[in-house]
Amino acid sequence: MTTTAERTSTGILVTGGAGFVGSTYVRTLLRTASADHTVTVLDKLTYAGSLANLASVHDDPRLSFVRGDICDAGLVDRLMAGQDQVVHFAAESHVDRSITDGGAFARTNVLGTQTLLDAAVRHRVGTFVHVSTDEVYGSIAEGASDEDRLLAPSSAYSAAKAGSDLLALAHHRTHGLDVRITRCSNNYGPHQFPEKIIPLFITRLLGGRPVPLYGEGLNRRDWLHVEDHCLGIELVRTRGRAGRVYNIGGGVELTNRELTARLLAACGAGWDRVDYVADRKGHDFRYCVDWTRARDELGYRPRHDFERGLAATVAWYRDNRAWWEPLKARCHA
């Protein structure tokens, strides 16, 4: 890994590339992209980012890492010069934190995205993939949200993401910037920060501790392996259309109780390890996306079987305590 970007052909700026999804994308991209691609990661390394997530590609000469803030207009402007494409992951991403500190979410997710979009327009960047979430549609009791559904976010996290989606689309309409948006359901897999439900529960169970289940555990989520999310993003980057939104889903819909049962079984623990805690404020009951567009236009289809993917994820956390134990200390999870 070098510290300055020496672009030869296709230069891709990846924001938030030291986080869970962004680092999975960078590792995958460097495995599959041709030698003439360069990847510049811009990441602030907040509590959620870690260079350990990029350790396996650290020595790749196509990769440059810059520690910095997407809200830093001067830095963003310098880095954007000469880039051909942007894949934008950087965000404050944990709903629970957004309930107590919404300001950080508005700043990074809205102002940071605006800063990147403005620089992308100035430097005539070709394609800007904005990675968003199914949470912008809000909770739906039944059926699935297609891309035309009215946005109805519930938390400061999803509201800030919805704001960034609208800014991205506005830069397409106003400036003709080739913006493409992905909205994905809940991800699981290795390298996820241990405050999110799956790694939180696994790491607590492996440590012999109880796990906190919100309310009665009946809220429903659609789960997708992080590599399938990255596959969808890559299809959008390479085959998607400008100004278009693509839902990415197709995993498995489970209540949090059903998910907990699987994690308890995988970790050899019983229900006596579950603490029922007061429900999250404004807790969305259910998300579900209709990903027909990504399937029909891009040939997207998730590849990972959920049961095998979850078992492999539990095994990864069992084998990689050195990765998560320092992070647990950092977030008191």
Any idea which residues carry the catalytic annotation? Answer: 134-135, 157
Give the x-and-dash track for 235-274 against ligand NAD (CB under 6 A): ----------------------------------------
Q: Which residues are registered as beta bridge partners of 123?
A: none
Closer of 34 and 100 to ligand NAD (Cβ): 100
Q: Using the rule CB under 6 A, which residue among 2, 60, 69, 149 binds ligand NAD? A: 69
SS3 169: helix
Contact 261, 197 (CB under 8 A): no
**Which residue's C-beta sits nearest to ligand NAD?**
19
- DSSP letters of 5-32? ---SSEEEEEETTTSHHHHHHHHHHHHH
Residue 186 binds ligand NAD, judged by CB under 6 A: yes
**In 3D, which of 271, 225, 268, 274 has the Cα closest to residue 248?**
225
Strand order through the sheet with 85-88: 63-67, 37-43, 10-15, 85-88, 127-133, 178-184, 244-248
Which residue bears the tokens 């402007």? Answer: 77
Q: Using the rule CB under 6 A, which residue among 18, 95, 160, 211 binds ligand NAD? A: 18
Closer of 38 and 93 to ligand NAD (Cβ): 93
Q: Using the rule CB under 6 A, which residue among 105, 128, 193, 291 binds ligand NAD? A: 193
Residue 22 binds ligand NAD, judged by CB under 6 A: yes
Residue 93 binds ligand NAD, judged by CB under 6 A: yes
Phi first, then psi, for residue 66 (nearest 5°) are -125, 120
- DSSP letters of 216-266? TS--EEEEEEHHHHHHHHHHHHHH--TTEEEEE--SEEEEHHHHHHHHHHH
Residue 21 binds ligand NAD, judged by CB under 6 A: yes
Number of residues in contact with ligand NAD, rule: CB under 6 A?
A: 31
Contact 105, 48 (CB under 8 A): no
Q: Using the rule CB under 6 A, which residue among 5, 11, 13, 19 binds ligand NAD? A: 19
Residue 20 binds ligand NAD, judged by CB under 6 A: yes
Q: Which pair of structure tokens corresponds to residue 111?
A: 């102002």
Closest separation between CB of residue 91 and ligand NAD, Å?
Answer: 3
Give the x-and-dash track for 104-123 against ligand NAD (CB under 6 A): ----x---x-----------
Q: Which pair of structure tokens corresponds to residue 261?
A: 């049962």
Name the residues that contact ligand NAD, by CB under 6 A: 15-16, 18-22, 42-46, 48-49, 69-71, 89-93, 108, 112, 131, 133, 161, 184, 186-187, 193
